[in-house]
Structure 1
């Protein structure tokens, strides 16, 4: 699994409400992962 998929899948579970493993209490962690995904996407667009 690629780095962007590792970041994206947990966020999609939270958005879809399908993640029953943990409560949605880690807002800072989710925001950090969103920033990481944005950075990966931006850098990926530049280096293609």
Structure 2
């Protein structure tokens, strides 16, 4: 998802959510052979 692609959240809770979600996404991606990002309907191959 694109939670970390926007502006810096105004609250500490929002920043923590963004950071924790980023760590979770990185951990999931580390277990995958293929990693894709879809932006505006376009598929970008990040790995694989």
Q: Which runs of 4+ in 1 moved over 3 A?
A: none
Higher relative contact order (CA 8 A, sep 6+): 1
| Structure 1 spans left out of the alignment, 5+ residues | 15-22
Q: Comparing both structures, which one devotes a greater share of its residues to strand?
A: 2
| Structure 2 spans left out of the alignment, 5+ residues | 34-48
- Which of 1 and 2 has greater Rg? 2
Q: Comparing both structures, which one devotes a greater share of its residues to helix?
A: 1
| TM-score between the two structures when normalised by the length of structure 2 | 0.52
